[in-house]
């Protein structure tokens, strides 16, 4: 079974631009969650999608948004990028809700210059 696939692996963007990250979950998994990982703040929850609906949202500004498609693939968008958005963005997929058995992808390393 293929794991969680995130694309692209690396991105360099300029402050003020927007970016879209993609996540393909494990086949059969309907829950996709996104996390931001930084040295200072650690791993922080962004949002969760289940059956194409956002079910849970972390404490991030509205510049961070996402969506999920009917095939469970998910995208995350960050608009008006700030230097502080530089981070590793991780996607986790799970067959159920509740954070159980969540499997992470390798992440997208976003650098904002």
Partner 1 sequence: QQQVKQSPQSLIVQKGGISIINCAYENTAFDYFPWYQQFPGKGPALLIAIRPDVSEKKEGRFTISFNKSAKQFSLHIMDSQPGDSATYFCAASGNSGSRLTFGEGTQLTVNP
Instruction: Compute how many other C-beta atoms are within 10 angstroms of the C-beta atom of residue 71.
Output: 10
94 touches partner 1 by CB under 8 A: yes
Q: DSSP string of 23-52?
A: EEPPTT--EEEEEEEETTTEEEEEEEEETT
Q: Min. distance of Cβ 24 from partner 1 in angstroms?
A: 14
Q: Looking at 13, 67, 73, 97, which residue binds partner 1 (CB under 8 A)?
A: 97
**Closer residue to partner 1, CB minimum distance, 12 or 43:** 43
DSSP β-ladder status, 10-13 and 108-112: parallel
Dist CA 1 CA 64 (whole Å): 30
Dist CA 50 CA 70 (whole Å): 10
**Closer residue to partner 1, CB minimum distance, 62 or 98:** 98
Site residues for partner 1, 38-67, by CB under 8 A, read 42-45, 48, 50, 55-56, 58
25 touches partner 1 by CB under 8 A: no
26 touches partner 1 by CB under 8 A: no
Q: Which residue has the tokens 């008006």?
A: 80
What residues line the site for partner 1 (CB under 8 A)?
4, 6, 31, 33, 35, 42-45, 48, 50, 55-56, 58, 90, 92, 94, 97-107
């Amino acid at each position: 079974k293929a794991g969680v696939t995130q694309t692209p692996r690396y991105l360099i963007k300029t402050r003020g631009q927007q970016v879209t990250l993609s996540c393909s979950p494990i086949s059969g998994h309907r829950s996709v969650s996104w996390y931001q990982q930084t040295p200072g703040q650690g791993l922080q929850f962004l949002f969760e999608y289940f059956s194409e609906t956002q079910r849970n949202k972390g404490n991030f500004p509205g510049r961070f948004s996402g969506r999920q498609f009917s095939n469970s693939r998910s995208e995350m968008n960050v608009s008006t990028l700030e230097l502080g958005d530089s981070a590793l963005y991780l996607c986790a997929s799970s067959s159920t809700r509740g954070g159980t058995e969540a499997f992470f992808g390798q992440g997208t390393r976003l650098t904002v210059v």
